[in-house]
Amino acid sequence: MSFKKNKYQVIKNAISKDLANFIFNYMLLQQDAVALMLKANRISPTNPLIGTWTDQQVPGVYSKYADWVMETLLQYVRPVMKQKTGLDLIPTYSYTRIYKNGSILKRHKDRPSCEISTTLCLGGDSWPIFIDPTGSNNVVDEYKNIHKPNAPKGIKYLLKPGDMIIYSGCELEHWREPFEGKLCGQVFLHYNHQNGPFAKTNLFDKRPLLGIPKTR
């Protein structure tokens, strides 16, 4: 299986298990610290640097756009991404979630800033991801999780901490079924093809620099 042929590819041990575990525990600590400070009114819930529990795609779980560690990881993993895809890639953004029991990642395709993406497993309980390699359009309403009844079932992949799967986010539908474990940490690292249609407008996801939150 190769990205050049299939538009997706699993990479085992993209980062070490120890590094993945360190980042996972860093995110758990951040989640708990932010929750405590919000409860004590020590920080504003509108502060874009603290993350959120109101993510539209997966509400109720701790999510964070452009965490500084993850933006560094975005750059760190880029040489592997370039090697496996055969493309010159520019970074757009990172996004991290700590999923909890009952979470669902609904079937979807991504926005232009996610042209070439990877999902990297950080830790927690195992939770498979499904990829539809056909490139067909089956989503009727993403946020209501409605898709065509004859939609392909997709191919199931189970990643261990440090593993990642590269995929063409704008072309291939991907999703996760209801999570039966307790916690699962995933980071999404997104890139554009330097010579592709989105590169000129989407560098750093239209931010002046990596690590800066999006303007609300």
Is residue 39 over pLDDT 90? yes
Nearest to 27 by CA among 212, 186, 214: 186
Q: Which pair of tokens denotes residue 11?
A: 């990479």
Residue 1 pLDDT class (50, 70, 90 cuts): confident
Residue 146 is predicted with a pLDDT of 86
Nearest to 123 by CA among 21, 12, 6, 4: 21
Q: Which pair of tokens denotes residue 85?
A: 């895809």
pLDDT digits (tens, 9 = 90+) for 174-212: 999 999 999 999 999 999 999 988 888 889 999 999 999
pLDDT digits (tens, 9 = 90+) for 130-187: 999 999 999 988 877 888 989 999 999 999 999 999 999 999 999 999 999 999 999 9
Interacting residues of 170 by C-beta distance below 8 A, sequence separation 6+:
109, 110, 111, 112, 114, 115
Residue 214 DSSP symbol: P
Q: 94, 74 in Cβ contact below 8 A?
A: yes
pLDDT digits (tens, 9 = 90+) for 107-138: 999 999 999 999 999 999 999 999 999 999 99
Q: Which pair of tokens denotes residue 129?
A: 């991801």
| β-sheet bridge partners, residue 51 | none
Query: Coil, strand or helix: which one is 63?
Result: strand
Residue 64 DSSP symbol: E
Query: Coil, strand or helix: which one is 199?
Result: helix
Cα separation, 79 vs 132, in Å, equals 26
Residue 216 is predicted with a pLDDT of 57
Backbone angles phi, psi at 136, to 5 degrees: -75, 165
Cα separation, 81 vs 11, in Å, equals 10
Interacting residues of 208 by C-beta distance below 8 A, sequence separation 6+:
none
Domains and CATH numbers, the chain: 3-206 (2.60.120.620)
